[in-house]
Structure 1
Amino acid sequence: QISKGPVDCVTEKALYTLSEDWLLWQAQDFSPLKLQVLFAVGRDGEVSQPLEVDALSCDTVEQLKEKILSTFRAKFGFPYETPIRDVCVEYEKHGSFVPLQDVDASSEVIGDMKKLNTLKYYQISDGAAIKVISKKDHPPLSPQTSLKDDKNFSGKYFHLIDPDVVEDQAKSPERKKLNLKELHLTKLLSTKVAVHSYVENLFNSIWGMPQSKAPHAVKYFFDFLDARADNMKISDPDVR
């Protein structure tokens, strides 16, 4: 459920979480994407059949790799042969493939911090083709190791949490109070989204019996409630 909404790559805070401490209150607008992922086969430019992968426009390149490998494992039942740190991804644009990197020369800079590139930054649209290649078989022109290996990763880069906004909040208590109000509303909505399917499946399991007959235990429970309502002379149909 958490991966269905924005997750900050640096702090790992998420919009769809039930933990207040890890709730992403500064989430930006995002849109879901269904990408057609091709895996390079050998060194002759051949590719596999496309694998549909769900992603978000606010995902970083690293997050995209994680979702691709996770979908691959769920689809085929075994992990992709190349570890994530040795995987490169490219985006098909105008008939050629463009390498995707978390940070490049055109990345946005605020103060001393660089913003991690996202799929929206690369203008990747729904249904776009993404190619996965191995660094060992296809050495990239500009190799880039994982940024998370940097000990000062959180001090050099940011993703969804704007460092300027954090500083402004410290100086403006009224803005912080407003954001906290929105934070609890977001938490309430995310909780509803998280439990809705489980509650719906529960009632479908209860009432989805042959000939629409409820299990004896469930019937007994509702008969008990009806009896209590009769004893208390409750006739309101919205209650009963």
Structure 2
Amino acid sequence: MLTNWFTFLLYKFLKECAGEPLFMLYCAIKQQMEKGPIDAITGEARYSLSEDKLIRQQIDYKTLTLNCVNPENENAPEVPVKGLNCDTVTQVKEKLLDAVYKGVPYSQRPKAGDMDLEWRQGRMARIILQDEDVTTKIDNDWKRLNTLAHYQVTDGSSVALVPKQTSAYNISNSSTFTKSLSRYESMLRTASSPDSLRSRTPMITPDLESGTKLWHLVKNHDHLDQREGDRGSKMVSEIYLTRLLATKGTLQKFVDDLFETIFSTAHRGSALPLAIKYMFDFLDEQADKHQIHDSDVRHTWKSNCLPLRFWVNVIKNPQFVFDIHKNSITDACLSVVAQTFMDSCSTSEHKLGKDSPSNKLLYAKDIPNYKSWVERYYADIAKMPAISDQDMSAYLAEQSRLHLSQFNSMSALHEIYSYIAKYKDEILVALEKDEQARRQRLRSKLEQVVDTMALSS
């Protein structure tokens, strides 16, 4: 209930203030991850904040510029798009869609699975590229997804996104196809049965139809009962921790901007939302009432109330706020940022050692600074003038008026009643003990509501 209360009342602050640095962080992570190889099967990446999602093997790759025909207007100038020669066809399609439909909400864009990637060579030669087709390399029980390098797509090539065709492999019957394919004719293999395009969500399951396992950049030996000694190409921890730190440095400004915005009482002209001041004062009143003078307890209450209950969820899941797509590597990086945010709200000291998780080591030098921001934020709020009940009531009424047509009030009332019915006895006792509740005869009024609901049911 508290989470929903904050979600409703912090909407304006999120939209006008905190939303921008959150979106910028998401974009920065996505852009940085896509500068290097991302394994379409395991979800591991060359650039990462998460050790669990870091490609430890050395992957050779080149950056290519593809000139994409505008699918909305073929006569418009082609859109230059950066890609990697180790990208799968689906990864290329996603990058092209990001560039061509920049600024368009994700839910309103065509999806990669609904489009074919067409490689254009001159006016007539057009080849449909796919993750799997008759040219796919198969080695024993391993089938490797096709990449731009597999097709020998060169820098500056012209490509287009076209609606997906219905034939098994969407191979053009034009004579130009055979001519263009001759460069890698030796790769051709006869497929026993057409393979459907698989989802590009990370997976490591075998192809049950053919008994083969898909791979892209790295064969996942963890799932093959291989001895640990067979993984000799893995780099030692110190080496890839350096790579994690390099990625962290690139994203540092965006993390700082977001944390600073959240832990500021006044930022870019936006005043602190009244709901935060009201709730924090309520927690302080309860601490005074119960004679709790330990500052760490008060700090923990406030952290559990707002940062850990509301903000962590928003940081971890920006797709709840924006119409975007969050892939597995972006999710892993946001999880590291969210964990750092949680550590910044903690009052306990984190003792680091050689066995500490890499995400703790990554932000070890930053967390003391972030903690000081949190402490200052709580102290600044405590110093602000208290909000009267009348002002808070007016604020809540105004918020309800602004969103009058967006919510079903009867449904909301029923949800509240379901909660009340579950804890009826405890609530009635609490209302009887509270002086202000007695003055307003709230116990009697609630009993009338319960009786009325019982009759109607």
Q: Distance in 2 between matches of 1:7 and 1:149?
A: 11
Runs (5+) with no aligned partner, structure 1: 203-240
Q: CA 1:194–1:170 in 2, change beyond 3 Å: closer, same or farther?
A: same
- The correspondence for 1:2, drawn from 21, 28, 33, is 33
Say if 2:62 and 2:85, in contact at 8 Å, map to a contact too.
yes
Q: Secondary structure at the match of 1:172?
A: helix
Asked if 1:170 corresponds to 2:198, the answer is no
Asked if 1:126 corresponds to 2:155, the answer is yes
- The correspondence for 2:92, drawn from 55, 64, 70, is 64
Asked if 1:30 corresponds to 2:84, the answer is no
Q: Secondary structure at the match of 2:44?
A: coil
Match of 1:179 in 2: 234
Give, as a single letter, the amino acid of the residue that structure 2 aligns with 1:142. Answer: Y
Match of 1:11 in 2: 42
Match of 1:231 in 2: none
Say if 1:10 and 1:154, in contact at 8 Å, map to a contact too.
no
Normalising by structure 2, report the TM-score. 0.37
| Larger gyration radius, structure 1 or structure 2 | 2
Q: CA 1:62–1:114 in 2, change beyond 3 Å: closer, same or farther?
A: same
1:184-217 C-alpha deviation (Å, 9 max, x unpaired)? 4134134224414756xx9xxxxxxxxxxxxxxx
Asked if 1:159 corresponds to 2:216, the answer is yes
Runs (5+) with no aligned partner, structure 2: 1-31, 171-194, 207-212, 257-457
Q: Distance in 2 between matches of 1:191 and 1:32?
A: 23
1:1-240, aligned counterparts within 5 Å? 1-40=32-71, 46=74, 48-74=76-102, 76-78=103-105, 81-93=109-121, 95=123, 96-135=125-164, 139=166, 142-143=169-170, 145-148=196-199, 154-155=205-206, 156-162=213-219, 170=227, 172=229, 176=232, 179-181=234-236, 184-196=238-250, 198=252
Q: Distance in 2 between matches of 1:108 and 1:141?
A: 18
Q: CA 1:197–1:25 in 2, change beyond 3 Å: closer, same or farther?
A: closer
Q: Distance in 1 between matches of 2:83 and 2:127?
A: 18
Say if 1:33 and 1:127, in contact at 8 Å, map to a contact too.
yes
Count of aligned positions: 191
1:128-181 C-alpha deviation (Å, 9 max, x unpaired)? 11111012xx655734753128998632310001357986962626x54x6241
Shift of 1:84: 1.9
Higher share in helix: 2
> Identity percentage over the alignment?
27
Normalising by structure 1, report the TM-score. 0.66
Q: Distance in 1 between matches of 2:49 and 2:227?
A: 25
Q: CA 1:139–1:154 in 2, change beyond 3 Å: closer, same or farther?
A: same
Say if 2:68 and 2:78, in contact at 8 Å, map to a contact too.
yes
Higher share in strand: 1
Q: Secondary structure at the match of 1:88?
A: strand
Q: Distance in 1 between matches of 2:77 and 2:166?
A: 22
Say if 1:6 and 1:15, in contact at 8 Å, map to a contact too.
yes
Q: Distance in 2 between matches of 1:157 and 1:109?
A: 9
Say if 2:42 and 2:203, in contact at 8 Å, map to a contact too.
no
1:39-91 C-alpha deviation (Å, 9 max, x unpaired)? 3458xxx45421111111110001011111112232x5455743221100111
